[in-house]
Amino acid sequence: MQIPDGLSEQAKIAYQAFLDMKESKAAHFSCLEAIESKYKAGGAPSIAENLELEKLLAAHDKNVLAFKTAMAAVTDADERQTLVELMS
């Protein structure tokens, strides 16, 4: 997804952080769903699968923090509203 024109540099950073957060969330849930489906009938994930899941969660946590920080830097109320609309 492309960052819209007309946003301040802070808003562009916040929007990119949102996109990164959205992508990392999808990757984490996709891995979680795959593991759940694989072991629904019994069994347990391997160490490698658990490590991958942890790695994806850590990446998502990092992206959530970056998004929170970036949104705090956007102080213009109209621009914050624009970002909320873009993220909806």
Q: Is 11 helix (H, G, I), strand (E, B) or coil?
A: helix
Interval 12-64: pLDDT, tens: 999 999 999 999 999 999 999 999 999 998 989 999 999 999 999 999 999 99
| For the chain, the helix, strand and coil percentages under 3-state DSSP, each to the nearest 5 | 75, 0, 25
Read off the pTM: 0.89
Interval 13-26: pLDDT, tens: 999 999 999 999 99
